Amino acid sequence: MAAPVDLELKKAFTELQAKVIDTQQKVKLADLQIDQLNRTKKHAHLTDTEIMTLADETRMYEGVGRIGIWWPSLEAVAASWCRRPAGSLAMDLLPNRFILQSKGIIHNQLLEKQKIAEEKIKELEQKKTYLERSVKEAEDNIREMLMARRAQ
């Protein structure tokens, strides 16, 4: 006849299994975030390296993303084409997505971007270490419980 199952031990194993699965998911997510931050940091570094080779008076533009504007209907576009000189319509319809910046400002922004990415990477590494340590402690607690049961 099979030995009775220790309910406390079974509950501990179930909790450990859930904790391990949850931790593995969190560690994978942290690894993905770290990889993305490393790419961001490398991109900012390479961009900064290229920018620093340019002359100080070089005109540089910073991307500010898409600007929400009202896009006229096709009929309005056709009507406005008839009343404007050639080429002026394109300037009205395309959003301005860049702003003029000095080399120094862009350099400082890229350095700040690298610094922020590095700080976030450190935070994520600490989080991963904590998660892995907590799973290890839970495993050790269950081992101790098993040893105590066997000793009885």
Confidence of residue 1 (pLDDT cuts 50, 70, 90): very low
Residue 2, domain member (yes or no): no
Q: Which residues contact 128 (CB under 8 A, 6 or more apart)?
A: 27, 30, 31
Looking at the DSSP bridge assignments, the partners of residue 101 are 60
CATH number, domain at 132?
1.10.287.370
Residue 142, domain member (yes or no): yes
Per-residue model confidence as pLDDT tens digits over 93-132:
445 577 888 899 999 999 999 999 999 999 999 999 999 9
Mean pLDDT of 5-28: 86
Predicted pLDDT at 148: 81
Q: Which domain holds residue 28?
A: 8-151
User: Exposed, middle or buried: residue 116 (CB in 10 Å: 0-12, 13-18, 19+)?
Assistant: middle
Predicted pLDDT at 2: 45
Better-predicted residue by pLDDT, 62 or 34: 34
State the Cα–Cα distance between residues 1 and 130, nearest whole angstrom.
Answer: 43
Instruction: Give the residue carrying structure tokens 């998660």.
Output: 131
What is the H or E stretch that residue 88 is in? helix 88-93
Better-predicted residue by pLDDT, 11 or 32: 32
Residue 18, domain member (yes or no): yes
Number of domains in the chain: 1
Predicted pLDDT at 70: 46
Residue 54, domain member (yes or no): yes
